[in-house]
Structure 1
């Protein structure tokens, strides 16, 4: 009976080790894929969301300033 428990213990240990190896391989694959995607995106010169939002805000501010200046020009031309 003692031999049988030893076999089950060995099988259990083997399964536990295999799960650890599988989890390590999964983490390594995820890291490699993320690194590859980061390089791919960097090579494409894509902008980040933060950069896009900053340029969008600058464009909106420029439009508002242009409208204000146009209204001012129209008012000055109307007085002349």
Structure 2
């Protein structure tokens, strides 16, 4: 028969081992949940901030170019109208 101090030491070792096992399981569960969340988000059609900013910048440049072209077309139309009104050389 074990004495009480040996039993207490064995019980403490058991509890420490159990605590370590539970901590490891908790850590693994957290990592697994994070990985599943990353995979789920990756499956959605989200874009990164960098991709969003790049597209936003391209759209701004395209808008500026469209405005510039619209101004050129208006100037050409005005020149044609003036030419037509002046006798059309």
TM-score per shorter chain, which class? Answer: 0.5 to 0.7
Shift of 1:26: 3.7
The structure in which a higher percent of residues are helix is 1
In our comparison, the structure showing a higher alpha carbon Rg is 2
- Match in the other structure for 2:85: none
Q: Using CA pairs under 8 Å that are at least 6 residues apart, name the structure with larger relative contact order, 1 or 2.
A: 2
Task: Give the structure-2-normalised TM-score.
Answer: 0.59
RMSD value, Cα:
2.8
Unmatched 5+ stretches in structure 2: 81-89
How many residues matched? Answer: 78
Unaligned runs of 5+ in 1: none
Cα deviation, residue 75, structure 1: 1.4
Aligned-residue offset at 1:25: 3.4
Structure 1 residues 10 and 75, CA gap change in structure 2 (3 angstroms): farther
